[in-house]
Amino acid sequence: MANLVAFLTGAGISTDSGIPDYRGPQGVWTRDPDAEKLVTIDYYMADPEIRKRSWQMRHDTPALRAEPNSAHFAIAALHDSGVAMRVITQNIDGLHQKAGVPARKVLELHGSARTVVCTQCGDKTTLREAITRLDAGELDPACRICGGILKTATVMFGENLNQRTLLEATTVASACTVMYAVGTSLQVHPAAGLVGVAAEHGAKIVIVNAEPTPYDETADEVVREPIGTALPRLLSQLSDSAGSIDANQ
């Protein structure tokens, strides 16, 4: 993976797409700390009322209607230019893929909100199907196969990350020559620790985030400009110099 460019992206990269972040000044958890219960596995599994509120949140989420913004497209353009790259994302919105980054090059650490899974039998359906059931009056839809509790295929608070995905992400962090941490508070581990892994293996660290992060002192460059304008500018020089670098590396 010579000259590998890695991206670690968080909620901040999707705010220009109309999806609110979580820990910023106007973030979801900042404005309503109690809302964390809606995505905490113990509360979710134990309390039907929490599940109903959580499903309503999914029903109303702008993520289903969201489109990629200039930052997502800048990363996709870098891929198209021939630069070897991988995206490690904490986001569950699927916008990197929608922008044109091949799914095989996107590691979704926290899963996907576009898929629904049964916590009992593992059957998978789509979020759109669940929303159709919500619209029909099912406030807490159960699995149609076994009657088990359904949840989105996301990693809730209290759940472990998929170990295979985390291992792949760690491998990318160890091998990359530069890592861009974009729109992430770098407070949630183990995702945040990937910046430290990359730095320990000699990668250049560039942090693009509106607020300070715990890794700012580790970074080679910290950018506070709006992500939608800063990231395309930062990546344009990489695209211009891609040359014959093999995009399949």
- Which residues, at least 6 apart from 1, have a Cβ–Cβ distance to it below 8 Å? 84, 172, 175, 176, 249
With beta carbons less than 8 A apart as the criterion, state whether 229 and 68 touch: no
With beta carbons less than 8 A apart as the criterion, state whether 1 and 170 touch: no
With beta carbons less than 8 A apart as the criterion, state whether 8 and 17 touch: no
If DSSP codes are grouped into helix, strand and coil, which group holds residue 104? helix
- Which residues, at least 6 apart from 222, have a Cβ–Cβ distance to it below 8 Å? 206, 207, 209, 216
With beta carbons less than 8 A apart as the criterion, state whether 198 and 173 touch: yes
Dist CA 27 CA 20 (whole Å): 6
In this structure, what DSSP letter does residue 24 have? S
Catalytic residues: 110
